[in-house]
Amino acid sequence: MRSRLTLAFGLLAVLLVGAFVAFRTVSISDLAEDELRRQVQREALVVATLLGQGLEPDAPAPAAAALEPFAVPDRAVVVTVADGSSSRVTGQLWRESDAEGAVAASATVDGVVVEVSAPMRDAESTVSAALPSLLALGGILVVVAVLVGVLVATRLARPFAELAEAANALARGRFDLRLPDTSIGEARAIGEALDGAAAQLRGSLERERDLALRASHELRTPLTSLSLALHDLVDRDDAPADLVEAAALAARTVERLDKAVGDVLEETRSHPVVAGAHLPLSLVVPALAQRWADTLSLAGVELEAELDGDATLSLTPGPLEQVLDDVLLAVLACSGHRVGLSVEGAERHLRVEVRVAGAQPAARDVPALERARGVVETLGGRMSGDLREPAGLAVVLPRR
């Protein structure tokens, strides 16, 4: 988006500067022609005044040789007197082809009419002299406009780039979105929509967790009690045979019902956080380990990372990334000198262990770790221990 905006600003600048240079060139040409016309008019008036005062009323037109002192090198002078006779003289630089399109002016004094013509190349030379400076100014304006365009494009594009990153994070199952603080109304509206979607995602996960806990307590606990009571009845020696047979049938039915409830609860805990966002552990864990290594290296901390279990198992990467990002902040706050990160993938869950050698404060006191604990609980997992060796921090998440 930034490159397209910059290109648009550049093209607009070129068009505007080109229009300015063209308009300025035409203006200079018009001004030069007007100035040449006034100059020719003054020359005609001066020559007519001199000749009108020096010639007798009935005298014929002076010879061309007599008019040579009045001929500027690139001018043509025509003198017409009262009897209708005329003479013409041209300067040394006048060319006959200059007559076409020449600027002419005339003046009459005491019956003497003087017409002076000047070639247009005088005005054109003025434009040619001004053109390099105009082009230089235009080039400077284009460069300045492009630089301003880059700055404006960067300012306009940055919030939308951050929104794209936030949308990608949401699509990966994260709900701790980093939204831009911008004055652009459209960007704010998109950010509010993404924030609302993230809140809905988290709320949906919390409702699923609460439903699973409530169903487990309100269904499986009574079923277990009923199953135990039925098995006691089956095992009684004094119970009638038909009652024992009915109790055994009921016990088997209760066990099937308990298994069905368990399957439903397991499906609730294991379905993807975001459909279609699954990635294998072999891709997710190395990327997370590299992020940890890059961040910890800036603090002078070593990282030992390992991936155990089935690396081909897939999961929604966002929740694991969110939890480990908060844990990483807690690790940095612990001021250790070596960190161990272990991720083990299993069929139904994911186990993460983090140990920090030389950690100073207890991890329970780090706010980032409390945020991670909240995310883990939202996902239906559990977190235990702290970051200090040898036990370390253990995180168990359902593989969703």
Q: For 319-323, what is the mean pLDDT?
A: 89
> Quick check: bond before 390 cis, omega within 30?
yes
- Max mean pLDDT among 15-24, 55-64, 258-267, 391-400 falls in 391-400
118 contacts 36 by C-beta, under 8 angstroms: yes
Query: Could you give the angle at which helices 185-215 and 121-171 cross, rounded to 10 degrees?
Result: 10
- Contacts of residue 7, defined as CB under 8 A and 6 or more positions apart, other chains included, come to none
Q: What is the pTM of this model?
A: 0.61
Q: How far is CA 200 from the centre of its chain?
A: 26
318 contacts 169 by C-beta, under 8 angstroms: yes
Structure tokens at 245: 């047979």
245 contacts 234 by C-beta, under 8 angstroms: no
91 contacts 74 by C-beta, under 8 angstroms: yes
Structure tokens at 22: 């063209």
Superfamily of domain 279-398, CATH level 4? Histidine kinase-like ATPase, C-terminal domain (3.30.565.10)
The amino acid present at 8, given as its one-letter code, is A
Task: Give per-residue pLDDT as tens, 227-255.
Answer: 777 777 777 777 787 777 887 888 788 78
Rounded CA separation 130/28 (Å) = 8
pLDDT score for 363: 46
| pLDDT higher than 70, residue 104 | yes
Per the prediction, the chain carries an average pLDDT of: 80
Domain extent listing, the chain? 2-122, 185-270, 279-398
The pairing of beta strand 314-315 with beta strand 279-280: antiparallel
pLDDT score for 229: 77
pLDDT score for 290: 92
